[in-house]
C-alpha cells in the first residue's frame, strides 16, 4: 500500500513530462492512465500511447523533490484527471496514500481528495531495448537536427514511411538526417563526436517533436539505444521510447544535383519577410503560389489573385549570378525552410523553372541543404 510525501511543483513537472506520451483518445483505455511505481529508491512514472512511451524517475535522493517514501507499491490513475487534481492542491507539499486497494487519498494543507485507481499489473509492458553500446549524442545538437528536418516530413498517412525522418549513420561517425513529403526535402549532415555502430532507421516525426519538448537543453547528453522496431533515448531521469517506421525510405540522394543555372544570395530575414507578405495574398487565392522573377540581376516576387488582390515586390539581394529565370512555388515551403536556417544569409540555386531548387546557408556554417519543388503554371 503506497505512501509518500513530495514537493507538489516537482511532482507536477514530472507528471506533465510523462503525460506527453499519453493521448486522451486511445483505442486501448488502459493507456489513458499513468503508472505510478514507488520503490525505496524513488518514484517511477510511466505513460504511453502505443507509439511513444515515457518513463520518468524521481530519485529519493533528489533534494528539490522533497521526497519521503514510507511504503512502496504501484497503481494506475487516470492521467488527465489525476494531474488536474494535483494542480489544484493548495499547499507546496502533498502526501499520497493508498488507503485501501486501488484507492488513493491525497492530502495537502486542509484538503483531502480520494481517487480510485487500477491494478498496475494491467499496464502493458514496455518492450526492452538492448542497452549494450549506446550512441551518445549532445542534446542540443539532436534537437537542432530535429528542428532542421522534421517539419519537411509528410503529415499524410497514405505513405507512412514519409511521415518519419530518415537517420543514417555510416563510417561510425557520419550522420545524415533527411525528411521529405515529396514536395520538399530537408537534409542535415554532420560528423559525430562519439563513434557508434552504423544504423539506418526512420523515426516518426511526431515522436521527434515530442522528444524535443521532453528533454530540456539543461540535459547535456542523451544515450540512444536501438532495437529492431524501436529506439530509446535516455537521460539520467527520463527514458523516451518510440516505435520505428517500417519499410524502405526512398533514395533522396538522386534529388540533389551539383549543377545549377542561377544563383541568388539573400539575407534570410529579407527573403522570409517578402515571402510572408506574398503568402497573405497567395493563401487566399486558388493557385496558392508566388512567382519569383530573376531578370537582369533584379529579383522580384509576384502574386496575382483575382479574388483578393496583388503583390509586386522587388527583393534586395546580396548577390545574383547566372541565367534569367521565372519560377512559381508554394511560399509556405520557402517560409518553413527559411525558419529552419540559422544562417543570416541564404544561397538559393535554380536549375530551371520546372526543376527543384535548393537552399543552403550562405556562410557554409552547416552541412544543411533544403530542396523545394516548383509549381508548373501554364
DSSP string, 269-282: HHHHHHHHHHHHHH
Q: What is the DSSP letter of 255?
A: G
pLDDT of residue 130: 78
- State the Cα–Cα distance between residues 197 and 168, nearest whole angstrom: 11
Q: Is residue 207 within 8 Å of 52, Cβ to Cβ?
A: yes
- State the Cα–Cα distance between residues 31 and 48, nearest whole angstrom: 6
Q: For the chain, which domains are there?
A: 3-122 (3.10.150.10), 135-253 (3.10.150.10), 256-372 (3.10.150.10)
* Nearest alpha carbon to residue 348 among 288, 266, 241, 290: 266
Strands (E), 49-183: 52-59, 68-71, 73-78, 93-100, 103-108, 111-116, 135-138, 164-170, 174-180
pLDDT of residue 228: 85
Give tens-digit pLDDT for 245-275: 999 999 999 999 889 999 999 999 999 999 9
Give tens-digit pLDDT for 74-116: 999 999 999 999 999 999 999 999 999 999 999 999 999 999 9
Binned at pLDDT 50, 70 and 90, residue 376 comes out as confident
Helix, strand, coil in percent for the chain, rounding step 5: 25, 40, 35
Binned at pLDDT 50, 70 and 90, residue 131 comes out as low
Give tens-digit pLDDT for 195-223: 899 999 999 999 999 999 999 989 999 99
CA dist list (Å): 12 to 59, 94, 116: 15, 11, 19
Question: In DSSP terms, which residues pair with 325 in a beta bridge?
Answer: 294
Is the confidence at residue 314, as pLDDT, over 70? yes
**Average pLDDT of 339-367?**
95
pLDDT of residue 286: 78
Q: Is residue 164 within 8 Å of 179, Cβ to Cβ?
A: yes
- State the Cα–Cα distance between residues 102 and 109, nearest whole angstrom: 23
Q: Is residue 116 within 8 Å of 103, Cβ to Cβ?
A: yes
Q: Is residue 252 within 8 Å of 176, Cβ to Cβ?
A: no
CA dist list (Å): 229 to 126, 354, 363: 12, 39, 38
* Nearest alpha carbon to residue 17 among 51, 67, 52: 52
pLDDT of residue 24: 78
Strands of 33-38's sheet, edge to edge?
Answer: 73-78, 33-38, 42-48, 52-59, 238-243, 230-234, 221-226, 135-138
18-27, 94-103, 140-149, 317-326: least confidently modelled range: 18-27
Q: Is residue 328 within 8 Å of 291, Cβ to Cβ?
A: yes
pLDDT of residue 365: 79
For β-strands 93-100 and 68-71, DSSP reports them as unpaired
Amino acid at each position: 500500500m503506497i505512501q509518500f510525501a513530495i514537493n507538489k511543483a516537482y511532482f507536477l513537472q514530472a507528471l506533465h513530462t510523462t503525460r506527453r506520451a499519453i493521448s486522451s483518445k486511445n483505442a486501448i483505455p488502459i493507456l489513458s492512465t499513468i503508472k505510478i511505481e514507488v520503490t525505496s529508491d524513488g518514484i517511477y512514472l510511466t505513460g504511453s500511447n502505443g507509439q511513444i512511451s515515457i518513463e520518468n524517475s524521481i530519485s529519493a535522493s533528489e533534494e528539490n523533490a522533497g521526497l519521503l517514501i514510507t511504503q512502496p507499491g504501484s497503481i494506475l490513475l487516470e492521467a488527465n484527471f489525476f494531474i488536474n487534481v494535483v494542480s489544484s492542491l493548495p499547499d507546496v507539499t502533498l502526501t499520497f496514500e493508498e488507503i485501501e486497494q486501488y484507492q488513493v487519498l491525497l492530502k495537502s494543507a486542509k484538503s483531502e481528495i480520494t481517487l480510485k485507481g487500477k491494478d498496475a499489473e494491467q499496464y502493458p509492458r514496455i518492450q526492452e531495448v538492448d542497452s549494450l553500446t549506446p550512441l551518445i549524442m549532445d542534446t542540443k545538437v539532436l534537437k537542432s537536427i530535429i528542428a532542421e528536418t522534421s517539419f519537411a516530413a509528410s503529415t499524410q498517412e497514405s505513405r507512412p514511411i514519409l511521415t518519419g525522418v530518415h537517420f543514417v549513420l555510416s563510417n561510425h561517425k557520419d550522420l545524415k538526417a533527411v525528411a521529405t513529403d515529396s514536395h520538399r526535402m530537408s537534409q542535415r549532415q554532420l560528423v559525430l563526436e562519439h563513434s557508434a555502430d552504423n544504423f539506418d532507421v526512420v523515426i516518426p516525426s511526431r515522436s521527434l517533436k515530442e522528444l524535443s519538448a521532453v528533454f530540456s537543453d539543461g540535459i547535456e547528453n542523451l544515450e540512444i539505444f536501438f532495437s529492431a522496431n524501436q529506439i530509446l533515448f535516455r537521460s539520467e531521469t527520463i527514458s523516451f521510447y518510440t516505435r520505428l517506421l517500417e519499410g524502405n525510405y526512398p533514395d533522396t540522394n538522386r534529388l540533389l544535383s551539383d549543377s545549377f543555372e542561377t544563383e541568388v544570395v539573400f539575407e534570410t530575414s529579407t527573403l522570409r519577410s517578402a515571402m510572408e507578405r506574398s503568402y497573405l495574398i497567395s493563401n487566399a487565392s486558388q493557385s496558392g503560389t508566388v512567382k519569383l522573377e530573376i531578370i537582369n540581376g533584379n529579383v522580384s516576387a509576384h502574386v496575382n489573385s483575382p479574388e483578393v488582390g496583388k503583390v509586386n515586390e522587388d527583393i534586395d539581394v546580396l548577390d545574383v549570378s547566372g541565367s534569367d529565370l521565372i519560377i512559381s512555388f508554394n511560399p509556405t515551403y520557402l517560409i518553413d525552410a527559411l525558419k529552419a536556417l540559422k544562417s543570416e544569409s541564404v544561397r538559393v540555386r535554380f536549375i530551371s523553372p520546372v526543376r527543384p531548387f535548393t537552399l543552403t546557408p550562405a556562410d557554409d556554417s552547416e552541412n544543411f541543404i533544403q530542396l523545394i519543388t516548383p509549381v508548373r503554371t501554364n
